[in-house]
Amino acid sequence: MTRTIIRSFDDPADAETSITRLEAAGLPPEEISIIHSSTGTMGNDAARGAGLGGAVGAGAGLLAGLTAFPLPGVGPVLAAGWLIGTFTAGTTAGAVAGGLLGALTGAGLSEDEAHFYAETIRRGTTMVSVRTSDSHAAVIEKILDGAGPIDAKVRRGEYERAGWSRFDETTSPP
């Protein structure tokens, strides 16, 4: 059975490290996705994506394909991978059809998990998601956890203590 494993990283370099390690372990780039929110301009984001893909080298096929676009409720993002196709298929005039929550729940996350991970992106983390089989899940989790992701339980508690309950694409990031 296929499952989705997600980790969010405060430092984009840690997310990039996790992707490089996943690819070095033989995971095909088409099974990995990355979404990075940015406070920069779309032009700067596109340049960063192009530079990042070139700087990381041959082992980072996914990172070479980073694309910049606006995501409702989040702002400018750099993204690449299979998950992105689920919410960019209906993109018209800069509006993303289906949205981030739909993409995350469509990937198998519960609605509660989808709201949390969408919020982490909105607040500036870089999210890495991997499609894998149950038999490979432990190895994938070990690689992702070894790159320094946020502690989801602790971060969610911080958000909730500050009054957060659900991702709302109509509000601005805090």
The mean of the pLDDT values for the chain is 79
The half-sphere exposure of 140 on its side-chain side, counting CA atoms within 13 A, is 21
What pLDDT is attached to residue 173? 67
Quote the pTM value: 0.81
**Segments in the chain below pLDDT 50:** 40-59, 88-98
Q: Where are the alpha helices (DSSP H) in 25-69?
A: 42-56
Domain definitions of the chain by residue range: 2-161
What pLDDT is attached to residue 43? 44
> What are the φ and ψ backbone dihedral angles of 70, each rounded to 5 degrees?
-80, 140
